[in-house]
């Protein structure tokens, strides 16, 4: 984007670029993914606080027994796991789609092929994705930097992509490990709560476990690192040849915390980077984050930046950021319907399902 343009001219150029090259639907898809992912993570945080307070009779004056309270806590953790796997699945599909193009991104995020998420995990393990493209890092050769600065920036790119891949692989592993629990929470509800890890100990939430029972035709359908048992070690139910057990202990809570941290960072970064790309029409930009209200800085996902890396980031802020357009987008995805009875239904009904007939673009509905 031409640094000599006024801000108004840059915004007009940006809006034209979104329509012509980026795609309005792509913009809506990315923005909604970030908005809803972070909203769901906030909801998970609220559920965590609820779990801590649910036994407080001053806050929840109920007549629930201790076992009933433990069971409710178990179900709330299952709800957290389900929400996390929903976001992970969406993020994996988004990563794959952005590796192709923006048209594929919108199409896949609305309706992606069955089991695409498993293919993405496999591709990540085989290092098949160009994560610089997926996370919208521009070509270094086109940036107004010295040869030395470009060489140093390439090292930061590599660290950034390595950290992203490591985080995505951790999320993929969590997704795979929890998938049976996730599916049985949605289908069949073959769940058995209120077991206890150490029966001798007091019956308490941190000592409790829950099992999901399933049937698999082949061992190859099982998650990696699964265990094998023989028939005489199992219950007397032959059909349920698979058990996925959740122990509600500190290790589980720590894993959930790590997953939440990774998702907060990755869901924000992948969307913000592409919106920064759109803001600057794909030219002379680098990823930024907001340091304070209205203040931005060049940013990468690297740990423990060295002195040289910090110095380079300062240089990038002077050479690149000062000429970038970093205005936040205003997001509005609303439709107005004027024809009755639809307009009345939109106002008065509880749930309204609307099919947009695009065969006649001149329709007034």
pLDDT at 329: 81
> Binning pLDDT at 50, 70 and 90, where does residue 365 land?
very low
pLDDT at 236: 65
Sign for the pseudo-dihedral over CA of 158, 159, 163, 169: positive
Q: How far is Cα 44 from Cα 257, in angstroms, rounded to an integer?
A: 10
Question: Both tokens of residue 145?
Answer: 């930097």
Q: Mean pLDDT over residues 103-116, rounded?
A: 91
What mean pLDDT value characterizes the chain? 91
The predicted-structure confidence for 173-220, as pLDDT tens digits, reads as follows 999 999 999 999 999 999 999 888 876 667 889 889 999 999 999 999
Query: Does position 2 have pLDDT exceeding 70, yes or no?
Result: no
- In degrees and rounded to multiples of 5, residue 171 shows phi and psi of -65, -40
Higher pLDDT, 365 or 91: 91
Type and span of the H or E element at 263: helix 250-279
The predicted-structure confidence for 245-263, as pLDDT tens digits, reads as follows 999 999 999 999 999 999 9
Query: Does position 172 have pLDDT exceeding 60, yes or no?
Result: yes
What's 281's DSSP letter?
T
Type and span of the H or E element at 158: helix 147-186
Taking the whole predicted model, whether its pTM rises above 0.85 is answered as: yes
> Binning pLDDT at 50, 70 and 90, where does residue 363 land?
very low
CB contact at 8 A, 94 and 134: no
CB contact at 8 A, 204 and 70: yes
């Amino acid at each position: 984007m031409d640094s000599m343009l006024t801000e108004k001219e840059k915004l007009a150029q940006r809006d034209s670029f979104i329509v012509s090259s980026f795609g309005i639907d792509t913009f809506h898809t990315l923005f909604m993914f970030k908005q809803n992912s972070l909203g769901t993570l906030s909801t998970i945080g609220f559920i965590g606080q609820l779990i801590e307070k649910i036994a407080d009779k001053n806050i929840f004056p109920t007549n629930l027994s201790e076992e009933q309270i433990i069971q409710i806590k178990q179900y709330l953790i299952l709800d957290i796991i389900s929400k996390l796997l929903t976001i992970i699945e969406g993020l994996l599909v988004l990563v794959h789609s952005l590796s192709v193009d923006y048209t594929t991104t919108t199409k896949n995020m609305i309706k992606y092929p069955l089991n695409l998420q498993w293919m993405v995990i496999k591709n990540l393990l085989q290092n098949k994705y160009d994560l610089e493209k997926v996370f919208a890092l521009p070509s270094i050769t086109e940036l107004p930097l010295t040869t030395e600065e470009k060489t140093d920036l390439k090292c930061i790119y590599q660290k950034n992509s390595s950290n992203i891949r490591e985080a995505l692989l951790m999320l993929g592993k969590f997704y795979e490990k929890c998938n049976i629990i996730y599916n049985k929470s949605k289908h069949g509800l073959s769940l058995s709560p209120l077991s206890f890890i150490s029966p001798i100990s007091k019956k308490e939430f941190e000592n409790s476990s829950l099992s999901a029972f399933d049937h698999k035709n082949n061992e190859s359908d099982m998650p990696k690192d699964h265990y094998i048992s023989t028939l005489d070690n199992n219950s007397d139910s032959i059909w349920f040849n698979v058990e996925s057990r959740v122990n509600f202990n500190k290790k589980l809570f720590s894993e959930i915390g790590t997953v939440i941290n990774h998702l907060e960072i990755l869901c924000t970064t992948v969307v913000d980077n592409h919106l920064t790309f759109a803001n600057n029409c794909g030219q002379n930009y680098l990823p930024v984050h907001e340091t304070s209200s209205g203040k931005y800085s060049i940013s990468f996902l690297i740990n423990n930046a060295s002195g040289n890396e910090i110095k380079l980031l300062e240089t990038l802020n002077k050479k690149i950021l000062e000429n970038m357009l970093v205005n936040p987008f205003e997001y509005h995805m609303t439709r107005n319907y004027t024809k009755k009875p639809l307009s009345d239904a939109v106002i008065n009904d509880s749930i309204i399902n609307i099919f947009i007939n695009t065969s006649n673009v001149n329709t007034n509905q």
